[in-house]
Amino acid sequence: MNKMEKKSVNISVVIPLYNEEESLPELTNWIKKVMKENHFSYEVLFIDDGSTDQSWKVVQELASEDSEHIRGVKFRRNYGKSPALNTGFQRVHGEVIITMDADLQDSPDEIPRLYNMIVNEGYDLVSGWKKKRYDPLSKTIPTKLFNWTARKVSGVKNLHDFNCGLKAYRYDVTQNIEIYGDMHRYIPYLAKAAGFDRIGELAVHHQARKYGSSKFGFDRFFHGYLDLLSIWFMTKFGRKPMHIFGLLGSLMFILGFFAVVIVGAKKLYLMHIGAKYGLVTDSPYFYLSLTTMILGTQLFLAGFLGEMISRKSPDRNHYNIETEID
């Protein structure tokens, strides 16, 4: 069904999942209970990220029992959490979008507080903070280091847990950010870069995993830092690559040029005073200087090519406009 044809609701819950067949019925009933108690109109969208168990069958059964509130999308294979969230954001229409994991570690009881912070307190995005975690030290210590680095690089200094799956968004936020790769860890950073800087945090209850095991390995921390560098670079220089490559290239070329001049001037001075001298090419500094000049030229050309590509981009003049008066 087309999104524009759907009736607006208070809350859309987007739940990415991968092999979580045991937890889905319990999670769905829990969400329904919370929504009914608070008189919310709602929808729940499950995104099956290529599960190999019976998860999709369970989603189909839940949707057939309550087609008014439950919907689902199934990927042909496992793509990752970011594509799942991006797909979900394209298909929901709630005033507030709630994301949570399917493993029952996120509590639906937090939904009313998250909704209130968006609607009544004016936040664009609210991220959960698992202040007390039920995870092993092998996971919590790298997580603390990761979050510290993310705060420093992103400038979103009030968040303790960037990667918490339990988040709430104003609808406009989800329509103005694009999540791909493993960028779901940095949604607050992406939102800030898009102009949504009213970002808050809520300490939430974290529950121990009840079924199955974690689907994430240690490599996510390494990939997370690479993704952070990518977002930082694209935010700072995505539309103006010449500002970084051109600057670095010019500095390296100038440094190499003056180094070559110094090497040549030294030889001329030795010749002038009649001292023993050798060929300029006998000096390792000559080759270091030449290499620096070549690298500087290549960086400058990379910036120039990047600038040409950026100017040809169809989104070069796409800006997020909040409001307009005609």
Per-residue pLDDT tens for 269-287?
A: 888 787 777 787 788 888 8
Residue 122 backbone class (left: φ over 0; alpha: ψ -120 to 50; beta: rest):
left
- Please name the residues in contact with 318: beta carbons below 8 A apart, sequence gap of 6 or more: none
- Please name the residues in contact with 87: beta carbons below 8 A apart, sequence gap of 6 or more: 47, 73, 75
- What SS3 class is residue 24? helix
- What SS3 class is residue 74? strand
Pairing state between β 42-48 and 70-74: parallel
Mean pLDDT of 58-84: 93
Q: What are the tens digits of pLDDT across the range 10-48?
A: 999 999 999 999 999 999 999 999 999 999 999 999 999
Q: What is the DSSP letter of 206?
A: B
Check residue 4 and give its pLDDT.
44
Tokens read off for 97:
């979008």
- What SS3 class is residue 237? helix
The mean pLDDT value of the chain amounts to 84
- What SS3 class is residue 46? strand
The burial class, CB within 10 Å (0-12 / 13-18 / 19+), for 74 is middle
Check residue 211 and give its pLDDT.
67
The number of C-alpha atoms within 13 Å of 81 and in the hemisphere containing its C-beta is 18
